[in-house]
Amino acid sequence: MKKLLFVGLLLTLGTTLTVSAQMKIGYANMEGIMFYMPETKTMEAALTKYSEELAAPLQVKDDYFKLKYQEYQELLQAQATPEQLAPLEGELQKLQQELQQAQAVAENKLMRKERELQQPMLDRLQKAIQKVAETGGYTYILNSTASGSSILIHGPDSGNVTKQIMDELGLKLPEGAGN
């Protein structure tokens, strides 16, 4: 029984070592690649324009709130009674809630728009990664982004496929830019 268990353990260990030996892992700076994609500038311009469109009605609400708040301050300085202040206080609270709600809606719309605009770019990037992985025989390609959301802490330069992915996308890495 012990011999059978030992043979099973050896077979499992041998299979694991064989699988590990066949694995090829690459990595790329996805954030850097996306920075150089022409779609990024187009997306950023569209998001800036959309953000400005969303901000216009918010500014109107904010200006109205400030006007009402100024009225409230003037009443306070004129030593208005609590009964005189109560309706304006209620209106200010309502306006503040409406403004906060409108800001939250605008932020959600902006985030949805960003995802919508980013998706074709991510699809194009994914196709390039797939092609490089197939061509180079990579089992895995990990993200080595420098912004802190990296999956890779360290890897050999030979595993860096950033340039190959950029080439697949038809992008040129500027002189002196790290990959």
Structure confidence at residue 179 (pLDDT):
56
pLDDT digits (tens, 9 = 90+) for 84-112: 999 999 999 999 999 999 999 999 999 99
Mean pLDDT, rounded, of the chain:
85
For the chain, which domains are there?
22-169 (3.30.910.20)
Q: Cα separation of 52 and 95, whole Å? A: 21
**pLDDT by 10s per residue, the chain, length 179:** 444 433 344 444 444 434 455 789 998 989 889 999 999 999 999 999 999 999 999 999 999 999 999 999 999 999 989 999 999 999 999 999 999 999 999 999 999 999 999 999 999 999 999 999 999 999 989 888 766 666 665 677 778 888 899 999 998 877 766 55
SS3 content of the chain, % helix, strand, coil (to 5): 75, 5, 20
